[in-house]
Amino acid sequence: MTNHLYDTLFAARETSEKTFLIDNDGEMSYRAFLERVNQLANALIESGLQTGDRVAVQAQKSKAQLALYVATVKAGGVYLPLNTAYTAHELEYFITNAAASIIVVDAGNAEKVKDIADRQKASLLTLNQDETGSLTGLADQQGTAFTAIARGLEDLGAILYTSGTTGRSKGAQLCHRNLVSNTQILKDFWQFTQEDVLLHMLPIYHTHGLFVASNLLAYVGGTMIFLPKFDIEAAIAWMPKATSMMGVPTFYTRLLADDRFDKALSAHMRLFISGSAPLLAETHKQFEARTDKKILERYGMTETNMSTSNPYDGDRIAGTVGVPLPGVDVRIADEKGNLLPRGEIGIIELKGDNVFTGYWQMPEKTAESFRPDGYFITGDMARMDENGYITIVGRDKDLIISGGLNVYPKEVEGLIDAIEGVSESAVIAAPHKDFGEAVVAVIVRRNGQLTEKDIQQSLQDRLAKFKQPKAVIFLDELPRNTMGKVQKAALRKSYEKLFASV
């Protein structure tokens, strides 16, 4: 048996001197990158990694962190990337729920995580953005050869946590088959080749930046301009050296806000891709007017990787997420799973090799999320037209997508409701030009002296910044229907122009 993901995506590049990664420090070839992968794999084994163990990583984006992902898979482990904005309070659940045997964090956070690691009996290593730390120090002492541990199609390669609207976050189990099949499909659908140079400014703690971008470019033997984050100056400086770019809608609104981004700067770019959050049709149109190029919008989830996409050749229709990818069966169904006619709004359900194997240690949640015939119930509301193009119209849950990151109101409401002086709260989304959606907390207080600053201060160490409300509104009571349910739709309507002047 081979190590399916590693052998498919990386093995053929082990002796290649082709440039894989470019950053402000220079270039790194495939050979040098994969030798570092081997050193890190040896370091993981020396730190106690057993086949199937989880490696939890919360570290700033770097070449070493990308290599750690590949090393974990090659060494037979399961990679668990964690958002760099998560607080220690949030980290504890992910680490203990996944029973991670190795934890890697920035040295500045090591003290906060030490007690968690001790209770978990896990090895604690550090990795800083400048690639210093105990992990790389240990790797420096290792050899550059490593024989991949055998892992098959159905073996787990990664767990990505996706918060739920109720209860605890759920760990989506992604097997080698899930990750490889999606990469192979996207290669042809988006026509990526070894000549591509991808401008990579996404984080690598979620599907978009880690699997969609990095796996794909490795598979085709392309190159990535690997930058720490989106920065308008860096984007404009590096774009002339790129052929393609993947981003969230915020990237494109910020580019359009800068007069330097024009037709000439983007003339040589063959492809701009947007995902992780809905792209406003207006942004799509403004971008085409500025550049004569159409953004390619696609749709995916943590649990499914990529599922639909506008075509590379063919009509890219503003406001839609395109058609089902080859090998992905998509249907629009009612709440009971009955197929709806074209044009009617229902829930997206899908099936394919891209769909995850279930939620980590949550068999009940897994069972609830699949139909008896194997279709995954996404919870996203959409309609499909007569040509197969899908338009997302909303969600059957109250999920907020802010800057491409998921925020689940229930989690935020639970922490707000625990603040002394709060009677109850409702967390909603309000349209925001930069973030797509912004988190808004509507609060009924028992203590009339409670202020927005009090709320923000109470949340700052307990919630990642992207989950924290960008506005706090106090009401005497929340709107309810005759059954007593809070009318969030009415609240969203009331505050839909809250950030109109931003």
Check residue 376 and give its pLDDT: 98
Check residue 164 and give its pLDDT: 47
For 165-212, the pLDDT digits (tens) are 445 789 999 999 999 999 999 999 999 999 999 999 999 998 999 999
The CA–CA distances, whole Å, from 358 to 53, 136, 162, 212 equal 17, 33, 12, 20
Share of the chain above pLDDT 70, in %: 97
Nearest in space to 130 (alpha carbons), one of 1, 235, 23, 218: 23
Nearest in space to 133 (alpha carbons), one of 193, 24, 230, 58: 58
How far apart are the C-alpha atoms of 366 and 374, rounded to whole Å? 11
> What is residue 471's three-state secondary structure?
strand
Q: Under CATH, domain 400-494 is a member of which superfamily?
A: ANL, C-terminal domain (3.30.300.30)
Entry pTM? 0.84
The secondary element (H helix, E strand) that includes residue 182 is helix 176-189
The secondary element (H helix, E strand) that includes residue 6 is helix 4-9
Whether residue 357 contacts residue 175, with contact meaning beta carbons closer than 8 Å, is answered with yes
Dihedral in degrees, nearest 10, Cα atoms 337, 340, 345, 350: 50
Half-sphere exposure of 272 (CA within 13 A, CB side): 23
**The two structure tokens encoding residue 445:** 């207080």
How far apart are the C-alpha atoms of 57 and 501, rounded to whole Å? 38
Nearest in space to 395 (alpha carbons), one of 298, 491, 495, 488: 488
Nearest in space to 448 (alpha carbons), one of 476, 428, 415, 427: 476
Whether residue 295 contacts residue 274, with contact meaning beta carbons closer than 8 Å, is answered with yes
How far apart are the C-alpha atoms of 80 and 357, rounded to whole Å? 15
Rounded to the nearest 10 degrees, the angle between the axes of helix 63-74 and helix 30-46 is 60
For 365-399, the pLDDT digits (tens) are 999 999 999 999 998 888 999 999 999 876 666 77
What are the beta bridge partners of residue 324? 308
Q: What is the pLDDT along the chain (502 residues), one digit of tens a residue?
A: 799 999 999 999 999 999 999 999 999 999 999 999 999 999 999 999 999 999 999 999 999 999 999 999 999 999 999 999 898 888 999 999 999 999 999 999 999 999 999 999 999 999 999 999 999 999 999 999 999 999 999 999 999 998 544 457 899 999 999 999 999 999 999 999 999 999 999 999 989 999 999 999 999 999 999 999 999 999 999 999 999 999 988 899 899 999 999 999 999 999 999 988 778 788 899 999 999 999 999 999 999 999 999 999 999 999 899 999 999 999 999 989 999 999 998 899 999 999 999 999 999 999 999 999 999 999 888 899 999 999 987 666 677 889 888 787 877 888 998 899 998 899 999 999 889 899 999 999 987 889 999 999 999 999 999 999 999 999 998 897 655 568 888 999 999 999 988 7
- All structural domains of the chain with their residue ranges: 4-189, 400-494
Q: Domain 4-189 adopts which CATH fold?
A: Rossmann fold (3.40.50)
Half-sphere exposure of 122 (CA within 13 A, CB side): 28
Whether residue 46 contacts residue 142, with contact meaning beta carbons closer than 8 Å, is answered with yes
